[in-house]
Amino acid sequence: MSVQYAIFVFKKKRMALILNIETATKVCSIALGKDGNLLGYTDINEDEYSHSEKLNIAIVELLKNNNLSFDDLDAVGISSGPGSYTGLRIGTSSAKGFCYGKDIPLISVNTLEELCHLSPIESGIKIPLIDARRMEVFGAVYSHDNKRIQEDFNLVIDEDSFANIEGEKYLFGNGADKIKEALANNTTVHFIDDIVCSARGMITVAEDKFNTNDFEDVAYFEPNYGKEFYTVPSKK
């Protein structure tokens, strides 16, 4: 009698404590994620940029309030833009410093994808928008379940914006307000207020990247500041 043995090898999911940092807009935000779950967060939303004065202090306080220290961290997540040059530089510098100091990996999370994870939409198309300057925004197009449909774009707003995208469209983020008037007559466009950047939206993305070893090179990583602007072609 012969006996056959089958050996199954299961990959054990690593459990991680990740500090997430969001500074792409005027919101200075941090969040602690443990195994993909939110432990705690701090959002500082002020009229002026206060990141350089408040970011590191807020991080120390958040760790302390959760009985944790920098030694407990497994990785640092950074919101990678597009967004404010000043804000992104400050957040990236802090994140790199923590990674260097504790020899832990750096994880980048697209800021527009982060916004999608903060939106409650269960159908239709998500279009997260970040204010750039004048009548310009950074944006992208996602499905209702946060799958990317169109790559990041820099958009000069006009009445034909997003006319080439079919279906019900939901716009949100701090760039959505400036486009309301231009798209007032578009019945397929809906605006969701009060969704702003927050590190809370980074938790699940950062955890997934940690478990697939999708890390950045700490020495060479640079965020996406957003560059040339153009108008998205519309259907004729």
Domain ranges of the chain: 17-112+197-211, 118-191
CATH fold for the domain made of 17-112+197-211: Nucleotidyltransferase; domain 5 (3.30.420)
- Percent share of the chain, pLDDT over 70: 90
- Residue 111, C-beta contacts closer than 8 angstroms, at least 6 positions apart: 22, 24, 25, 79, 80, 81, 82, 83, 130, 197
CA angle 77, 203, 15 (to 5 degrees): 85
Residue 204, classified by CB atoms within 10 Å of its CB into exposed (0-12), middle (13-18) or buried (19+), is middle
pLDDT at residue 171 in the model: 97
Q: Do domains 17-112+197-211 and 118-191 have the same CATH topology?
A: yes
**Does residue 153 have a pLDDT over 50?**
yes
Q: What is the pLDDT of residues 158-193, one digit of tens each?
A: 888 998 899 999 999 999 998 999 998 999 999 999
CB 33 within 8 A of CB 207: yes
Q: What is the pLDDT of residues 4-45, one digit of tens each?
A: 434 333 344 567 999 999 999 999 999 999 999 999 999 999
Query: Average pLDDT over the chain, rounded to whole?
Result: 89
CB 163 within 8 A of CB 121: no
| Residue 227's pLDDT band (cuts 50, 70, 90) | low
**Does residue 3 have a pLDDT over 80?**
no
Query: Could you tell me which CATH number the domain at 118-191 has?
Result: 3.30.420
Q: What is the pLDDT of residues 100-124, one digit of tens each?
A: 999 999 999 999 999 999 999 999 9
- Cα separation, 55 vs 212, in Å, equals 28
